[in-house]
Structure 1
Amino acid sequence: MKSDARQLDRSDPHSEELEAEYYVLGGGDVGACVARQLYESGQVVNLIDESNDCPTTPGAQGDPTDLRTLRNAGIPKDSTIVVATRSDKQNLLIGQLVRAHFDVGRVVVLVNDRDRFEVFAAANHEPVCATTALSDALVESV
């Protein structure tokens, strides 16, 4: 599996010698969208995903469930981690890997099945339920 970091454009103010404050791990379109929105709002962000081909957001292409990929990403202390794959099992695994091996400030984890929300909270993650967020947004729109 590939885990080569893309070269950052040093003329871009987002790619200064700053360590990323946010690491978005996985998620395909959802993860790419979260990373892009954080980046466009001026945050320092890195996206790590197997299909990471987003040229506008710094990051690496690699498996976020692989500890070597996460170590190669150089996740700094006190970063905020956003885990956003389509699989609750993978999200829980990635969250646990990050908690066990990195001294990060926050681990925000996408929960796809609202019945699993408490499991993620008990694992000391900040769960965000996709179903609840989407239904709340739809009700607010109507």
Structure 2
Amino acid sequence: MINPTPSNEPDPAEGAAATHYILGGAHIGVAIAERLRAEGQQVAIVDEPSPSEDIPSVVGDPAAMDVLAESGVEDASTVIAATKSDRRNLLIAQLVGVQFDVPRVLALVNDPSRRGAFADAGHEPLCVTTMLSEAVGEVV
């Protein structure tokens, strides 16, 4: 089920697809989407349940083929797999890259030791743990 889209945003299910899709992630996914949107990017979220009323979204499992097809993800220039699970993010990244031929797939990684597996699979890993520790190191 597609959430109502704000009047100034294209509906991702009507062909005017967002160029960036955030798959899962709850509050992290919303934060990423809000940041991209603030930078003028088109963005949509696929998650269960929908984490935002302000960003175009498709409610559903971001690892389900039918949900991804409904979302219009095949037209995305970038997809970010942002669930809480490294394994699920790798699965979603593989699915999107192979089934929908998305040119750029980023995936959140929580455990730094798994970063290589994501890179070896052809995805851009974003290690949350490393980025957070580096950010704290800059502030302290």
2:136 counterpart residue number:
138
- Unmatched 5+ stretches in structure 1: none
Residue 68 of structure 2, aligned match among 70, 89, 95: 70
Say if 2:119 is the partner of 1:124. no
Q: Give the 5 Å matches for 1:1-142.
A: 4-10=1-7, 12=8, 14-15=9-10, 18-142=16-140
Q: CA deviation digits over 1:64-101, x for unaligned, max 9?
A: 01111101111234520011110001000000110111
Q: Indicate if the aligned counterparts of 2:21 and 2:45 stay in contact, CA closer than 8 A.
A: yes
Amino acid at match of 1:56: D
Q: CA deviation digits over 1:8-42, x for unaligned, max 9?
A: 233x1x33773211000001111111111111221
CA shift in 2, pair 1:129/1:91, >3 Å: same
- Length-normalised TM-score, structure 2: 0.91
Whole-angstrom distance in 1 between the partners of 2:42 and 2:122: 24
Whole-angstrom distance in 1 between the partners of 2:74 and 2:42: 12
TM-superposed deviation, 1:49: 0.6
Structure 1 counterpart SS, 2:44:
strand
- Unmatched 5+ stretches in structure 2: none
Q: Indicate if the aligned counterparts of 1:24 and 1:45 stay in contact, CA closer than 8 A.
A: yes
Out of 54-63 and 17-26, give the one that drifted further.
Answer: 17-26
Q: CA deviation digits over 1:75-132, x for unaligned, max 9?
A: 2345200111100010000001101111212000000000000000000000010110
Structure 2 counterpart SS, 1:109:
strand
Q: Indicate if the aligned counterparts of 2:6 and 2:55 stay in contact, CA closer than 8 A.
A: no
- Length-normalised TM-score, structure 1: 0.90
